């Protein structure tokens, strides 16, 4: 009976540890909690069998994703006729799926752990980042949400981000965590562990003042429009003219700007439906006033019967970007029959979009090339640095109206900040309902619109040149290093077992 009670307490603690990790992310931003959460999780795995570790990891994952991506439920209940039963079931199913990844991590950790305590700690750090990488880059086109590095954007450890990116910075966080845990559990080497953490933080603090990129030319004026069109009204035919008129009125007030940016699918119509009567006249005015307008709308290629989510530049320098990284269950549907049936019952509109070519030319505005991302494409660091040497700033257009006042818009804004810091470029982020913002090359928000407001913000943007170490090397070096360390640790484990 006592053993069952103890195990129950540990199960509850695993869930709590997962929730604590959510509190380290935006909008809460209690970034020290990442170390407490992961330390508790590591201690909970001591002495467990592989099966027990998998279950503890699953509970930790339920705590993390059940609290951290609770906004999935919000997106499914925008339509009043959906009720709450099926959305609750779908949210539980969704969170349970992603909870498998902490469970897989815990299983592998117990399977591969060896006798040396420090080596086990190194194993913990490497395995965590490897599982994050698999989840973030491979599964369902990648789901890089709630990766630990995002918690440190406002801590001294953020200085590692432009050097080693989200996975490298995450590895640094895990190292600090396991070293702190080791300092409490072992006497020999305790002060070495504490000293190592202090050195990591000191180096981070010193690196914060280092500029990896430099200003390249005169600043230009950018205006970002947050239209605040409710998702339930966005695609209604009766509202189309009102929406188009609103964006037109907001735009013509700012012909003194060099760039005016609209949110993702700000135009609720296909390109050909609004081209002649709306876009061409608007573009003529933009040319006359020496302004470029960056718009977003779906484009139907009748010849190939393909639908694209696009960004276009209206003005002297015309261009079109087709979204590359499509959103699963939103812009394309993975072949999972049960989910297809449930989504249809929820009356959730499913896209049938085609992914754009990975080697598209950069768009050009205000005399500079820029990196374009649409919605959650800004969650993928490799995509944002693919041609960054030619680019002088970043543009992201997003529609987070599906998620209301939930955690998602804040988490998404935190993710977007990471791309500015990794690339050493200013980010101009225009969203439909928020959070629209201008982010500096240091990942600092310098202008921001309130959530769920019709707002226009503007700022003078310095074009940036040069490359951060991460922009030069990407994720491959840190992932290869982690795989190398894991290979050595596994070989040492089996070498010791053979000796015994």
- Select which of 56, 322, 323, 493 is catalytic: 323
Cα 4 to chain center, whole Å? 39
The backbone torsions φ and ψ at residue 149, rounded to the nearest 5 degrees and listed phi first, read -60, -30
> What CA–CA distance (Å, rounded) separates 410 from 388?
25
Order of strands, sheet of 445-448, starting from the edge strand that comes earlier in the sequence: 363-365, 368-374, 393-398, 427-431, 437-439, 445-448
Q: Looking at 264, 292, 377, 422, which residue is catalytic?
A: 264
Beta bridge partners of 270: none
C-beta separation of 376 from 143 below 8 A: no
- Residue 292 annotated as catalytic: no
Mark whether 323 is an active-site residue: yes
* CB within 8 Å of 193: residues ≥ 6 apart: 179, 180, 182, 183, 186
CA-based nearest residue to 144, from 382, 424, 402: 382
User: Which strand ranges, in their side-by-side order, compose the sheet holding 292-301?
Assistant: 319-322, 306-314, 292-301, 259-261, 220-226, 455-461
Residue 114: active-site member: no
Provide the β-strand partners of residue 309.
Answer: 298
Neighbours of 496 (CB within 10 A): 13
Catalytic residue (one of 375, 377, 442, 493): 375
Element (H, E) at 14: helix 2-23
Distance CA 264, CA 226 (A): 10
Question: Which sequence positions are flagged as catalytic?
Answer: 264, 323, 375
């Amino acid at each position: 009976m006592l053993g069952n009670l103890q195990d129950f307490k540990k199960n509850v603690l695993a869930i709590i540890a997962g929730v604590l990790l959510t509190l380290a992310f935006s909008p809460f931003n209690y970034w020290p909690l990442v170390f407490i959460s992961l330390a508790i999780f590591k201690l909970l795995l001591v002495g467990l069998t592989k099966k027990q570790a998998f279950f503890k990891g699953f509970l930790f994952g339920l705590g993390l994703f059940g609290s951290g991506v609770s906004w999935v439920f919000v997106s499914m209940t925008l339509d009043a006729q959906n009720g709450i039963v099926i959305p609750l079931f779908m949210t539980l199913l969704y969170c349970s799926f992603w909870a498998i990844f902490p469970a897989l991590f815990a299983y592998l950790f117990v399977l591969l752990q060896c006798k040396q305590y420090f080596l086990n700690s190194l194993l913990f750090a490497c395995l965590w980042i490897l599982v994050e990488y698999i989840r973030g880059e491979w599964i369902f086109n990648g789901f890089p949400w709630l990766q630990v590095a995002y918690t440190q954007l406002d801590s001294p450890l953020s200085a590692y981000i432009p050097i080693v990116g989200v996975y490298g910075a995450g590895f640094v966080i895990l190292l600090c965590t396991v070293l702190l845990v080791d300092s409490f559990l072992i006497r020999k080497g305790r002060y070495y562990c504490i000293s190592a953490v202090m050195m990591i933080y000191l180096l981070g603090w010193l690196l914060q003042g280092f500029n990896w990129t430099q200003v390249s030319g005169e600043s230009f004026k950018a205006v970002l429009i947050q239209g605040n069109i409710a998702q339930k009204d966005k695609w209604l035919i009766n509202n189309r003219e009102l929406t188009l008129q609103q964006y037109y009125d907001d735009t013509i007030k700012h012909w003194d700007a060099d760039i005016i940016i609209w949110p993702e699918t700000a135009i609720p119509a296909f390109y050909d439906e609004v081209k002649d009567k709306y876009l061409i006249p608007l573009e003529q005015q933009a040319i006359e006033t020496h302004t470029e307008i960056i718009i977003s709308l779906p484009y139907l290629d009748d010849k190939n019967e393909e639908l694209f989510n696009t960004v276009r530049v209206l003005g002297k320098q015309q261009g079109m970007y087709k979204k590359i990284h499509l959103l699963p269950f939103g812009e394309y549907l993975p072949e999972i029959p049960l989910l297809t049936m449930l989504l249809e019952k929820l009356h959730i509109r499913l896209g049938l979009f085609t992914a754009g070519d990975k080697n598209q030319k950069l768009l050009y505005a205000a005399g500079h090339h820029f990196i374009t991302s649409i919605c959650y494409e800004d969650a993928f660091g490799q995509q944002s640095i693919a041609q960054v040497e030619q680019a002088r700033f970043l543009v992201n257009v997003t529609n987070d109206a599906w998620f209301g006042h939930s955690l998602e818009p804040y988490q998404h804004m935190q993710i977007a900040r990471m791309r500015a810091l990794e690339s050493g470029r200013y980010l101009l982020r225009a969203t439909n309902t928020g959070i629209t913002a201008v982010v500096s090359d240091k990942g600092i928000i310098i202008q921001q619109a309130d959530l769920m407001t019709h707002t226009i913000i503007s700022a003078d943007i310095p074009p940036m040149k040069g490359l951060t170490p991460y922009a030069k090397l990407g994720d491959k070096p840190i992932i290869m290093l982690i795989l190398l360390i894991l290979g050595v640790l596994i070989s040492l484990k089996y070498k010791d077992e053979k000796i015994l």
